[in-house]
Amino acid sequence: MSTKSVLRPPEALDAPRTVSLTDRVALRIGMALIIWSRRTRRVRPSIDPALRVQLERERAEREAQWLMLGAGMRVWR
């Protein structure tokens, strides 16, 4: 059975790999952003019932418009 790990010699461990300064800075900033985003809790604002009803009505109107446009496109074809 031949695999790449059998055919390829192991890498030399005596030469340390160097990482550029920009890569280290980018990694540190990325990790800080990930940690910060997990620590901040997202609290949803409370929506009053009247606003919720209004938003639901507007969404239903938009869906009805899209259905009418879709039906019109089918007839047009």
Q: What's the pLDDT score for residue 62?
A: 95
For the cut 70, the answer to whether the pLDDT of residue 4 exceeds it is no
pLDDT in tens, 34-73: 988 887 777 777 889 999 999 999 999 999 999 999 888 8
Exposure b/e, 38-70, CB count within 10 A at least 16 = b: eeeeeeeeeeeeeeeeeeeeeeeeeeeeeeeee
The pTM of the whole model exceeds 0.85: no
CA quadruple 47, 53, 59, 62: dihedral, nearest 10: -140
pLDDT tier at 11, thresholds 50, 70, 90 = low
